[in-house]
Amino acid sequence: MTEAPDSWDHAWLCLQLLALDPMGLGGITLRARTSPIRDACLTGLPDTGLPVRRLHPNITDSELYDTMDVGATLAEGTPVLRRGLFSAPALLLLTMAERCPADLAAKLALALDAPGSAGLIALDEGAEEDERVPPALSERLAFFVDLTGLRMPSLTPPGLQDAAALRDALGHVTATPDDMRMLTHAAARLGVDSLRAPLLALHAAKAHACLYGRGSVAQEDLETGAALVLAHRATILPLPDEEPAETPPDQPPPEHPNPSPSAGDEDRLIDAVRVMLPDGLLPQATSRRAGAAGMGAGDKRNARQRGRPLASRPGRRDGRSRVDLIATLRAAAPWQTLRRTPGRKITVLPSDIHLKRFETRTERVLIFLVDASGSAAHARLNEAKGAVEHLLARAYASRDRVALIGFRNQEAEVLLPPNRSLLLAKRRLSALPGGGATPLAHGLQSGAEMAWRAQKQGLTPTLVLLTDGRANVALDGDQNRQRAMLDAEHMADFLRVAQVQALVLDTAIRPQKPLIKLANRMGATHIALPRASSAGMSQAIETAVMA
């Protein structure tokens, strides 16, 4: 990045504003891996007037809420309460926020919504594009700071002079209805649907005004607020010389009698946002919106609550697993003579506690790799789509997740990250155009990547490849039939080593020898699709996949 100093200014400003109004602004998403740079950034956070508490994605309920401290309770013989993180207002620091499971996100969101209870700094350490903070959280956090590619700051962070006095003054900063109107208009023009965004921008503007000792919000504050809050949420960027009335294509033109208060001022807001958008960020922002569902459903099913019972194990009570009372008492029984204390019938020590364990099968994710090249389109792309749809319906019944990757021309594209929403899958699938060359190796590569990531999350991936096997683009983009097939075979080897269950559906008119060979190398089942309706086709697949 060329504007490194600016980015640090941006980060410092966000932190200053957050320190002024941690509750109103919700917090910050800080995207950076663990590094001295991130630490340097965090030390720049001025005193917020709140205690900072760290939490991690696997934090248990007993640490979040007030609960009985079992260890102390058993030792004392009287109930001992342990205070949870949510029991007092605090600034929460969530590490590895991109791995935050849906249930924790929901609990944190609830805490953020409750007035005056918490602010959150989500440390997003995601390395991959699709590793993101759950949208339920990022939606509630005002700022987004990306430290990727920054060098260590050369200057010391500005800090806050007299933070407490400023915070007092913040309550008296006023904003006119026109200010709010302007922010709301700007948000609408930038394609930000959620109404939380303009509110957060308003809070940011107020905090900024307060920072500069103003008693009411000025144009400059609005610009800063819009830039800091709306920029990373934008999904549409109005063109610079466009008429304000006809900006977002799907937005009806404002029909109120007095059009936006001062169109010129509003444009300056949009411009302020535009400055904040480095090249290439907007598509990312857009795809983030589209893929927002990617992190959707809960993570790996914990085998602590249901499934086939296994033998209990000694362990600490963490609020998630269940105590096996019988096993606990059995463990305590031999010691009763030794432990006998007057006045207590039975003495159980924390070390006696046994937890129940269950075994469940991990969830499956079906990754569809669809060849949309010209040759395949000519063969039976539509029938293949029909078959996939049929499989999707089956996946719905068995609560599998589905992902969709299409490949054509020079590249493979993830059309849908692993997800439970079949509606999305179907929409993306039917929107998949056909035509172009066949980059089979690319397709296999991104399929393998996704499978690998799914395995890391504790899911069981199954790859379903639909192609006619006429690979003609090598991994380096060269249109060379032989090298293309060679690359594809390499990827197949990789998949076999990774032990990914796979299925190859041959959509060509006649079964293709090279494809059979490829399937063998992948350790996959090869099925030549019968020339039939998509229903007949899917029946053939079903017996193979669902077996």
**Number of other residues whose CB lies within 10 A of the CB of residue 285:** 21
What is the smallest separation between the CB atom of 395 and other proteins, expressed in angstroms?
Answer: 9
Asked if 59 contacts 306 with a C-beta cutoff of 8 angstroms, the reply is: no
Out of 54, 83, 151, 427, the only residue in the binding site for other proteins (CB under 8 A) is 427
Integer Cα distance of 317 and 407 in angstroms: 48
Asked if 360 contacts 393 with a C-beta cutoff of 8 angstroms, the reply is: no
**Which pair of tokens denotes residue 523?**
């350790």
The region of 270-278, 370-378, 413-421, 493-501 touching other proteins under the rule CB under 8 A is: 413-421
Amino acid residing at 237? L
3-state SS assignment for residue 279: coil
Binding mask 310-329 for other proteins (x = CB under 8 A): -------x-xx-xx-x--x-
Integer Cα distance of 485 and 517 in angstroms: 11
Does residue 135 belong to the site contacting other proteins (CB under 8 A)? yes
What is the smallest separation between the CB atom of 375 and other proteins, expressed in angstroms?
Answer: 27
> In 256-335, where does DSSP find H-type helix?
263-276, 281-290, 325-332
Query: Which of 148, 188, 108, 426 is closest to 284 using CA atoms?
Result: 148
Does residue 169 belong to the site contacting other proteins (CB under 8 A)? no
Out of 393, 532, 535, 546, the only residue in the binding site for other proteins (CB under 8 A) is 393
Does residue 218 belong to the site contacting other proteins (CB under 8 A)? no
Q: What is the DSSP string of 95-157?
A: TTGGG--HHHHHHHHHHHHSTTSEEEEEEE---STT----HHHHTT--EEEE-TTPPPPSS--
Of 426 and 442, the one with the shorter C-beta distance to other proteins is 426
Does residue 199 belong to the site contacting other proteins (CB under 8 A)? yes
Of 289 and 521, the one with the shorter C-beta distance to other proteins is 289
Does residue 543 belong to the site contacting other proteins (CB under 8 A)? no
Integer Cα distance of 179 and 317 in angstroms: 52
Does residue 342 belong to the site contacting other proteins (CB under 8 A)? no
Residues contacting other proteins: total by CB under 8 A: 79
Out of 50, 68, 277, 281, the only residue in the binding site for other proteins (CB under 8 A) is 68
What is the smallest separation between the CB atom of 460 and other proteins, expressed in angstroms?
Answer: 17
**Which pair of tokens denotes residue 428?**
């993306």
Of 153 and 294, the one with the shorter C-beta distance to other proteins is 294
Out of 9, 63, 131, 139, the only residue in the binding site for other proteins (CB under 8 A) is 139
List binders of other proteins among 445-464 (CB under 8 A).
none
Asked if 408 contacts 439 with a C-beta cutoff of 8 angstroms, the reply is: yes
List binders of other proteins among 8-67 (CB under 8 A).
24, 61
Out of 92, 282, 387, 424, the only residue in the binding site for other proteins (CB under 8 A) is 424
Largest CA distance in the chain: 87
Does residue 354 belong to the site contacting other proteins (CB under 8 A)? no
Out of 42, 52, 102, 528, the only residue in the binding site for other proteins (CB under 8 A) is 102
Query: Which of 487, 348, 470 is closest to 408 using CA atoms?
Result: 470
Integer Cα distance of 453 and 365 in angstroms: 11
Using alpha carbons only, give the angle 128, 131, 136 rounded to the nearest 5 degrees.
160
Out of 44, 296, 436, 461, the only residue in the binding site for other proteins (CB under 8 A) is 296
Does residue 547 belong to the site contacting other proteins (CB under 8 A)? no
The region of 33-41, 177-185, 404-412, 475-483 touching other proteins under the rule CB under 8 A is: 177-185
What is the smallest separation between the CB atom of 157 and other proteins, expressed in angstroms?
Answer: 28
The region of 142-150, 416-424, 500-508, 532-540 touching other proteins under the rule CB under 8 A is: 416-424
Query: Per DSSP, what are the bridge partners of residue 466?
Result: 370, 505
3-state SS assignment for residue 337: helix
**Number of other residues whose CB lies within 10 A of the CB of residue 433:** 10
Does residue 357 belong to the site contacting other proteins (CB under 8 A)? no
Does residue 481 belong to the site contacting other proteins (CB under 8 A)? no
Does residue 338 belong to the site contacting other proteins (CB under 8 A)? no
Out of 57, 126, 254, 315, the only residue in the binding site for other proteins (CB under 8 A) is 254
Out of 31, 167, 364, 426, the only residue in the binding site for other proteins (CB under 8 A) is 426
Amino acid residing at 389? E
Out of 2, 78, 337, 341, the only residue in the binding site for other proteins (CB under 8 A) is 78
End-to-end CA distance of the chain: 51
Does residue 277 belong to the site contacting other proteins (CB under 8 A)? no
**Cα 195 from chain centroid?**
20
